[in-house]
């Protein structure tokens, strides 16, 4: 039961805080209750580190006799714990920095919504068996759907939420299909020993939910999700998929499939990293950042090193969290941003360092070059967005002034703490030349760009290079974003709709009964021919 104590606890306290706020209209007290809930849940997660592995198992969940039962198992182990820790760190940072965002729709309702999502997110992170994963994913999707629909105002955004929900449910169905198909051999699906016929479906399910395989970005209007709620939401969705990736076996696909899937993944990552770089601010670029993080996870799995998924992605997500939660700037903030960037590069003995072994297991090759390019684009984008102009923390609010940097600093502390105490293999040199190459390239390009910008020598918006580049980028973006797939699907839907309509009219029309008898004759012929001897 210990494993689900934190999510249940955070759920109950956050709802209590909300009810208290509704009854007394005391914003400060509600915030304090949320802070206490987050700190206690955070403490519970730290406590779990000393009890790994801890699990909750329901063996005969369905209760049908003779069924090769799927086990419902929630487990805190070295795979899931870093994700849970990262999630709680981001949550605590979100709550601590919330007073600095009071002017930006930060209120007890948003805090409760966020904590409810975190609670479901923790369930999904600790879900160890496929059955537990699909249930947790479904719960998360339904809760997110309801919370978003109740907070949005425009029809367009509401439609985006429905589409996003549909795609995520599609991912869940893919995993359910994998569970079903793997039973053909008489055994239930286990992530650790997945069968080849089910592996593609599992990857498709995770890829769909991460938005990377195939590339999909149904909900791109990030501003309405706001800085705090949106950030936690994105990180929850990503971490609940990435933790499953980290559980997959080393040999997932035959080499031919691996090459094809790697190519698709890198194409999506380069596109997303470029879009992250050219986005006008970090919130607009946030979905692309998440796609790149997911891409790193998938690449590790495809290259046969799922153990490194957790190291890469927790480090990147925490660094992302620092930037996405930053609504104001200051001296301390600059230091924190710098440390977060270092955390992303994977330099030796930094949090992400060993993870390079997951991306570059076989020395210098095309995969290594692609990975390095993607990470350079990602760090450069981070640097660019970090330099964007921000507000100052209101001087009149001592709580905000104290807790805002503390919340962000907590993320950096946890990032490094995970690097040191995350688990076996979380600390080391990694592939030093790759991390140095990324750091060097970022320093040079970033420095030049910064210097040119300071001296007003950046390219003018009306220069021909910018215009041609923009046009080419637009064309590439419209192809690679795969928005055209939705257009094609819509066309097919309309075509098939006419066919169905025609058949319905025939079967339900005046001669319908006769047509039904003709169909019966056809069916009998079919069964006689193919089934009966």
Partner 1 sequence: MSAPWFWIILPMVFAGILWLLRNNSKITGIVSMVLQAILAGLAALMPIGISTRIGPIPVEIASTLSILGRRLVLENADRSYLAFLFAVGALWALITMIIKPHRSVVPLQMVIISLLVAARAVEPFLFGAVLVEIAVLVSIPMLVPPGTRPGRGVLRYLIFQTLALPVILLAGWAFNIVQIYPENQAALARASIFLGLGFAFWLGVFPFYTWIPMLSEESHPVVNGFILSFLPFIFLMLGLDFLNGFVWLRQGTYLVSVLQVTGVLMIVTGGIWAAFQQTLVRMAAYALILDTGFLLLALSLQNQVGMETFAANWIPRQLSLILLAYGFSTLQQHGYSLSVAGVKGSGVKYPILTAAIALAFLSFTGLPLTGTFAIREPILGELSRQSIVMTVWALVGVAGLLVGLLRVLFAFFAFSGRDWRSGENWYEGLIFIAGMVLLLGAGLFPAEFFKGILNMLESFPNLP
Of 22, 453, 519, 525, the one binding partner 1 (CB under 8 A) is: 519
What are the backbone angles phi and psi of residue 356, rounded to the nearest 5°?
-55, -30
Kind and range of the H or E element at 29? Answer: helix 27-49
As measured in angstroms, the least distance from the Cβ of 506 to partner 1 is: 10
513 binds partner 1 (CB under 8 A): yes
Nearer to partner 1, 139 or 483 (CB): 139
Nearest to 28 by CA among 90, 78, 102: 102
Beta carbons within 8 Å of 21's beta carbon, 6+ residues apart: 27, 29, 30, 108
Residues 461-500 that bind partner 1 (CB under 8 A): 496-497, 500
Of 36, 184, 466, 474, the one binding partner 1 (CB under 8 A) is: 184
Pairwise CA distance, residues 73 & 144, whole Å: 23
As measured in angstroms, the least distance from the Cβ of 152 to partner 1 is: 9
Of 25, 47, 60, 525, the one binding partner 1 (CB under 8 A) is: 60
**Per-residue b or e along 357-383, where b marks 16 or more CB atoms closer than 10 Å to that residue's CB:** bbbbbeeeeebbebbbbbbbbbbbbbb
As measured in angstroms, the least distance from the Cβ of 495 to partner 1 is: 11
As measured in angstroms, the least distance from the Cβ of 146 to partner 1 is: 7
Nearer to partner 1, 68 or 331 (CB): 68
Nearest to 293 by CA among 240, 337, 360, 369: 240
Pairwise CA distance, residues 60 & 58, whole Å: 6
The span of 95-103, 403-411, 458-466, 520-528 binding partner 1 (CB under 8 A) equals 520-528
Nearest to 126 by CA among 294, 296, 7: 7
As measured in angstroms, the least distance from the Cβ of 177 to partner 1 is: 5
Class of residue 520 by CB neighbours under 10 A (exposed 0-12, middle 13-18, buried 19+): exposed
Nearer to partner 1, 150 or 460 (CB): 150
Residues 85-144 that bind partner 1 (CB under 8 A): 134-135, 137-139, 142
Instruction: Give SS3 for 342.
Output: helix
Q: CA dist 319 to 71, 324, 327, 382, Å?
A: 35, 9, 15, 9
Nearest to 234 by CA among 114, 153, 154, 401: 114
Joined tokens for residue 334: 């600059």
Q: DSSP secondary structure string, 62-111?
A: S--TTS-PPPEEEEESTTHHHHHHHHHHHHHHHHHHGGGGTTTT--HHHH
Pairwise CA distance, residues 270 & 288, whole Å: 10
The span of 387-395, 434-442, 450-458, 513-521 binding partner 1 (CB under 8 A) equals 513-521
Of 63, 255, 363, 529, the one binding partner 1 (CB under 8 A) is: 63
The span of 238-246, 364-372, 470-478, 508-516 binding partner 1 (CB under 8 A) equals 508-516
DSSP strand E in 175-264: where? none
Beta carbons within 8 Å of 209's beta carbon, 6+ residues apart: 137, 167, 168, 171, 172, 237, 240, 241
259 binds partner 1 (CB under 8 A): no
Nearer to partner 1, 173 or 413 (CB): 173
66 binds partner 1 (CB under 8 A): yes
Nearer to partner 1, 454 or 498 (CB): 498
Residues 138-177 that bind partner 1 (CB under 8 A): 138-139, 142, 146, 149-150, 153-155, 158-159, 161-163, 165-166, 169-170, 172-173, 176-177
Nearer to partner 1, 468 or 516 (CB): 516
Of 1, 23, 103, 186, the one binding partner 1 (CB under 8 A) is: 186
Nearer to partner 1, 170 or 348 (CB): 170
Nearest to 79 by CA among 314, 331, 388, 417: 314
Joined tokens for residue 10: 């955070």
Nearer to partner 1, 452 or 517 (CB): 517
Alpha-helix residue ranges (DSSP H) falling in 152-220: 155-182, 196-210
As measured in angstroms, the least distance from the Cβ of 20 to partner 1 is: 21
The span of 40-48, 229-237, 377-385, 503-511 binding partner 1 (CB under 8 A) equals 503-511
Pairwise CA distance, residues 117 & 229, whole Å: 9
The span of 62-70, 226-234, 342-350, 418-426 binding partner 1 (CB under 8 A) equals 62-70
Of 192, 391, 392, 508, the one binding partner 1 (CB under 8 A) is: 508
DSSP strand E in 315-445: where? 328-329, 391-392
As measured in angstroms, the least distance from the Cβ of 180 to partner 1 is: 4
Pairwise CA distance, residues 443 & 101, whole Å: 32
Nearer to partner 1, 363 or 533 (CB): 533
As measured in angstroms, the least distance from the Cβ of 144 to partner 1 is: 13
- Please give the residue ranges that form the binding site for partner 1 (CB under 8 A): 60-68, 70, 134-135, 137-139, 142, 146, 149-150, 153-155, 158-159, 161-163, 165-166, 169-170, 172-173, 176-177, 179-181, 183-184, 186, 188, 496-497, 500-501, 504, 507-508, 512-513, 516, 519-520, 523, 526-527, 531-533
């Amino acid at each position: 039961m210990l494993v689900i104590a934190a999510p249940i606890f955070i759920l109950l306290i956050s709802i209590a805080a909300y009810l208290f706020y509704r009854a007394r209209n005391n914003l400060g007290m509600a915030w304090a209750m949320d802070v206490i809930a987050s700190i206690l849940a955070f403490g519970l997660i730290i406590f779990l580190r000393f009890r790994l592995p801890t699990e909750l198992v329901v063996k005969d969940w369905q209760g049908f006799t003779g069924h090769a039962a799927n086990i419902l198992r929630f487990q805190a182990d070295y795979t899931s714990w870093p994700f849970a820790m990262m999630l709680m760190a981001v949550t605590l940072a979100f709550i601590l920095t919330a007073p600095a965002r009071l002017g930006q729709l930060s209120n007890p309702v948003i805090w409760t919504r966020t904590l409810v999502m975190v609670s479901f997110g923790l369930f999904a992170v600790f879900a160890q068996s496929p059955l537990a994963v699909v249930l947790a994913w479904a719960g998360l999707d339904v809760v997110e759907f309801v919370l978003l629909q109740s907070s949005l105002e425009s029809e367009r955004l509401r439609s985006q939420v429905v589409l996003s929900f549909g795609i995520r449910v599609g991912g869940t169905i893919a995993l359910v299909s994998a569970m079903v198909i793997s039973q053909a051999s008489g055994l239930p699906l286990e992530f650790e020993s997945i069968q080849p016929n089910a592996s593609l479906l599992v990857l498709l399910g995770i890829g769909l939910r991460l938005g990377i395989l195939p590339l999909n970005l149904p909900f791109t209007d990030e501003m309405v999700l706001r800085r705090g709620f949106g950030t936690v939401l994105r990180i929850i969705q990503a971490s609940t998929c990435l933790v499953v990736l980290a559980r997959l076996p080393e040999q997932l696909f035959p080499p031919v499939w691996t090459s094809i899937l790697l190519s698709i993944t890198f194409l999506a990552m380069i596109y997303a990293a470029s879009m992250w770089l050219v986005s006008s601010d970090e919130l607009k670029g946030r979905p692309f950042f998440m796609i790149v993080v997911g891409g790193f996870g998938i690449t590790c799995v495809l290259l046969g090193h799922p153990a490194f998924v957790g190291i890469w992605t927790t480090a990147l997500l925490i660094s992302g969290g620092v930037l996405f939660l930053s609504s104001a700037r200051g001296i301390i903030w600059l230091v924190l941003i710098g440390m977060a960037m270092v955390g992303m590069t994977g330099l030796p003995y930094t949090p992400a360092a060993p993870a390079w072994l997951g991306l570059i297991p076989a020395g210098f090759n095309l995969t290594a070059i692609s990975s390095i390019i993607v990470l350079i684009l990602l760090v450069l984008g981070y640097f660019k967005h970090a330099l964007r102009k921000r507000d100052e923390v209101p001087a009149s609010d001592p709580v905000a002034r104290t807790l805002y940097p503390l919340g962000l600093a907590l993320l950096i502390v946890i990032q490094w703490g995970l690097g040191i105490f995350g688990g076996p293999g979380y600390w080391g040199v990694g592939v030093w030349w790759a991390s140095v190459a990324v750091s060097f390239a970022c320093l040079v390009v970033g420095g030049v760009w910064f210097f040119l910008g300071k001296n007003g020598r950046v390219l003018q918006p009306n220069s021909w290079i910018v215009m041609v580049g923009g046009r080419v980028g637009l064309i590439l973006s419209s192809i690679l974003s795969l928005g055209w797939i939705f257009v094609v699907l819509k066309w097919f839907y309309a075509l098939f709709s006419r066919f169905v309509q025609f058949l319905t009219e025939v079967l339900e029309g005046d001669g319908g009964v006769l047509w039904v008898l003709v169909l019966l004759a056809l069916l009998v012929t079919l069964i006689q021919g193919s089934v009966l001897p």
